[in-house]
Amino acid sequence: MDEKKTTLLYRIIRWLVWFFYPKIKVEGAEDLPEGPCVVVGNHSQMNGPIAGELYTPGVHDIWCAGQMMELKEVPAYAYQDFWSGKPRSVRWLFRIASYLIAPLSVCIFNNAHTIPVYHDERIIRTFRLTVERLNAGSRVVIFPEHDKKYNNIVYDFQTKFVDVARMYWKKTGQAISFVPMYLAPALKTMYLGEPIPFDPQAPIARERERICAALMDAITAMAAALPEHTVVPYRNIPKRDYPKNRPVEVYAHEETAG
């Protein structure tokens, strides 16, 4: 795979982030398939994308919200996704910040190893580009959490990303695997679990549910087995409300029980 050309400003920013961001150890890299795969992890606010870019082993690309790559779309998306949960008294500061970060966001996310993700008719571009990158041997990193809580470790996963495996199988005849990843900033470690293979013979709706449940449960199990630590949640909430990794407190399962 050809090395992506980047701007000088981005290379400086990347070096500064690498220098100042805590160094992350990677455990479980031996579980990664030799060929292409999809690594799926907890977002951990901005820690997931940063650690994913800097420390995912091998050639890799990260799914990134397409809005963060468009100057006019950054402020609204960044405020809603990152800071809307902040205390009301300081939200105005974060509204200003959402505009200030827009030029940097466009520079960073258009130069990094990213695949833009859309939730409109452009989604087909996301999937096609992802299959192209996988076919070129890249590992694709996805953080699919959304607002509904699954437990105190992860939020519920959006499921449609699993369709990438179906498209890849149709193009290549090869079934790829999904690798669970748990990022623990408090422990300065990225943990990789055992791959979960895609079954191309099963109905896609069933595979979405099966694979997402298996990934969330694997990430939860990895986190719960570690020494007690603070979990950085998907939502940007006050730090005093950050959960611990154990005991595991189930939310989504309780809502659907019975």
Domain boundaries, the chain: 20-66+119-256
Mean pLDDT for the chain overall: 92
C-alpha pair distances (Å), 180 with each of 32, 40, 122, 177? 10, 5, 27, 10
- pLDDT of 2 reads 57
Q: Is pLDDT of 217 > 90?
A: yes
Q: Which of 119-128, 185-194, 200-209 has the lowest mean pLDDT?
A: 119-128
- pLDDT of 90 reads 87
- Residue in this structure with the two tokens 């199988």, named with its chain if needed: 169
Number of CB atoms found within 10 A of residue 63's CB? 23
What is this structure's pTM?
Answer: 0.90
- pLDDT of 1 reads 54
Q: Is pLDDT of 187 > 90?
A: yes
More confident residue, 1 or 167: 167
In degrees to the nearest 10, what's the CA dihedral of 244, 162, 49, 154? -10
Contact of 50 with 64, CB cutoff 8 Å: no
